[in-house]
Structure 1
Amino acid sequence: MTFQQLTYVVEISKCGSINKAAHKLFLSQSGISTAVRELEEELGIKFFVRSNRGVEFTPEGKEFLGYAVSLLEQKQRIESLYGESRSTIAPVHFSVSTQRYPFTEDAFLEMLQQNQENRYQYTLKETSMDGVIDDVYDHRADIGVIFLTKLTEKIVCRLLDARELTFHELAAVPPCVYVRKGHPLTQLEHVSEADLEGYPYSSFEQAQGVAVDFSEELPMVSMRKPSKAIIVNNRSTAMNVLANTDAYSTGSGLLAEHLSPANVVTIPLADKDPVRLGWIYPQNAKLSSHAEGFVRLLEQSIQRSIAYTSSLHRQIVGK
């Protein structure tokens, strides 16, 4: 399969006729027909059928067109970015993929404020843990931010090893529950799994077939099949649900001043192993200068979040 063949198929779809496509491309009709036929034989499908009115694409042909157009657009974009005629300096690219942590957003904002590049494209993507791992493995992200627990470490690290990625710990913190201010659970200094019974459990949507070990929330046996469940897919909605209902969620419990809603607080979970927060990166690969800078900002941001969250815990206990 060649880009030339893809161009022929797309042009035929636009013109509705092999003859018109050949005329527009300054080629012979037989030449285009032969190239398209060879591609059909290679892929084992038929793109279109001919009629007196021109050509009519088959269902398989229509599906193929979508991919062909996308590939040709990507080719054009690559050529425009890296072609010999390009005279401008390429922008700096840096991408972060993270589970939904406010301290990562805080570090990202700090990076933007410190940035002195003339041209850049910075990306921050919040997604599930398996999504973060995929992004770093497929080079869609330079740095990934995830968490490990004693229960999930074995299976997650096995996947990281298989993909030649390394986890670098930033901090270990006690797991917490997230609730609204004034929630009945805020009367407690520590919360047990038994204390959570009867309250709605809010969690992030997970792709079908993904193991619970890769969930955003702290894995707990009692939460596998809660009697009341609220499922969301972004951090803003999750925080609004917590702030306006009696629902709760679980996780690191870290909040960021000025970024986390003021009416959501966290309470430590009793008798639970620490949550290990960290960043992932390809094994034996050298950090770029931008990645090194971002890791430093992450280290600073997570310490600020720990200090801020601890102060909120003291306020709850001392009220």
Structure 2
Amino acid sequence: MELRQLEYFVAVAEESHFTRAAKRMHVAQSGLSSAIRSLERELGASLFIRSTRQVELTPAGRALLVEARRALSATDAARDAVAAVQGLIRGNLAVGSLQCVHVVNVPHVLARFHAAHPGVEIQLRQGGSRHLIDQVKAGRLDIALVARPLRPTDDVLIRSLASEPLVLACGLEHPLAGRTQVSLADLSREPFVDFQPDWGSRDLVDSVIGDRRIAFEVNDVHSLLDLVTFGLGVALVPQSFSVKTDKAQFIGLAEPVPAWETVVVTSESPSAAATALLDTVAAARSGRC
């Protein structure tokens, strides 16, 4: 089994099409198809269900995809390690991030990293915490800035950046707006605005007050706060959201509840570029950049 075969296989799996995969890999389709057939013969299993319009992974193909991505990621890490010994950091760095990471100015950190390591091509993807962690596991992301997962997570390293309390967000005219504290019992009949289920804050709030009516489900912070501002629902959010608007009231909770924690996630053997970005994040947190 050759690395080139695995690269071709991953390209076909992600494109769901041999022609598009061949264009992506800058090879003739016949050569790519031949490499895939050779891989299937070597493994003794069909990897794709072929049709005239697209291809789909077989169960064997789905199993191989996870390991192929890990193998290719490990190969990239090996190349990076050699480059690092030679005093060079180059290659690609795929970064995942929540939309709002209060404890780190992500654009600033990426700009500082790029200035220090211009040979590294940076990619940034935003998404929910669970999805981004899965992308790190699969080798599609090198590093992710997310909320700490509630359940133990294998095959990744998790480093804490900061934690902050959850607070209630409500409209300025809401009956609870004049309180200095609210209890969870006060919220039993309130309609909620919340994020989609793969967001880390949604998981945390579900663990705090799971029996509630979610009237509005959104996928960005500003939509959530706008809906709260117009009195369409309340939300439990990290305290740092309070700096984003003065058109909502933010109130502390009477009961002790788990804190919102921002973490950085990498593979168990992060690449040289990922390690360098971790150093840049640490420098930004300490005020050194």
CA distance in 2, matches of 1:268, 1:147: 21
Match 1:198 to one of 162, 186, 189? 189
Contact between 2:147 and 2:261, CA under 8 Å: does it hold in 1?
yes
In structure 2, what is the equivalent of residue 166 of structure 1?
158
Cα contact 2:48–2:56 (8 A) shared by 1:
no
Structure 2 matches for 1:265-276, cutoff 5 A? Answer: 265-276=249-260
Question: Corresponding residue for 1:233?
Answer: 219
Q: Which residue in 2 is equivalent to 1:97? A: 96
Cα RMSD after superposing both structures: 4.9
What is the alpha-carbon distance in structure 2 between the residues aligned to residue 264 and residue 43 of structure 1?
58
Q: 1:176 to 1:107 in 2, by over 3 A?
A: same
The structural deviation recorded for 1:127 is: 2.9
8 A Cα contact 2:95 2:125, kept in partner: yes
Corresponding pairs, count: 238
Letter in 1 for 2:142: A
- SS of the residue corresponding to residue 213 of structure 2 reads coil
- The code of the aligned residue for 1:177 comes to L
1:32-62, Cα deviation, whole Å (9 max, x unpaired): 8xx69x86x95459978xxxxxxxx468x75
Is residue 294 from structure 1 mapped to residue 278 from structure 2 by the alignment? no
Q: 1:4-19, aligned counterparts within 5 Å?
A: 10=18
Per-residue deviation, 1:188 = 0.6
Secondary structure (helix, strand or coil) at the match of 1:224 reads coil
For 2:226 and 2:90, how far apart are their aligned partners in 1? 36
Rounded Cα–Cα distance in structure 1 between residues aligned with 2:111 and 2:170? 31
Question: Comparing 162-171 with 187-196, which one deviates more in the overlay?
Answer: 162-171
In the other structure, the counterpart of 2:228 is: 242
Whole-angstrom CA distance in 2 between matches of 1:244 and 1:133 = 33
Contact 1:108 1:124 in 2 (8 A): no
CA gap of 1:179–1:297, structure 2 versus 1, over 3 A, is: farther
Inter-CA distance 43–112: structure 2 relative to 1 (3 Å threshold): closer
Verify the 8 A CA contact 1:180 1:242 in the aligned structure 2. Answer: yes
**Partner amino acid for 1:179?**
C
Q: TM-score, normalised by structure 1?
A: 0.55
TM (norm. structure 2) is 0.59
* Residue equivalent to 1:252: 238
- Mapped partners of 2:224, 2:126: distance in 1: 13
Matched, 1:277 2:278: no
CA contact (8 A) 1:217 1:251 kept: no
Residues 1:204 and 1:298: Cα distance change in structure 2 (over 3 Å): farther
Aligned-residue offset at 1:218 = 2.5
Q: Please tell me the residue identity of whatever aligns with 1:146.
A: A
Contact 2:169 2:236 in 1 (8 A): yes
Instruction: State the alpha-carbon separation in 1 of the partners of residues 239 and 45 from structure 2.
Output: 52
Partner of 1:186: 177
Cα distance between partner residues in 1 of 2:264 and 2:229? 31
Q: Is the 8 A contact 2:148 2:262 kept in 1?
A: yes
Unpaired segments of 5 or more residues in structure 2?
10-16, 23-28, 62-67, 73-78, 80-87
CA deviation vs aligned residue, 1:79-111 (integer Å, no higher than 9, x gap): xxx9xxxxxx9966444434453415x511322
- Percent of aligned pairs sharing the same letter: 13
Q: Shift of the alpha carbon at 1:272?
A: 1.6
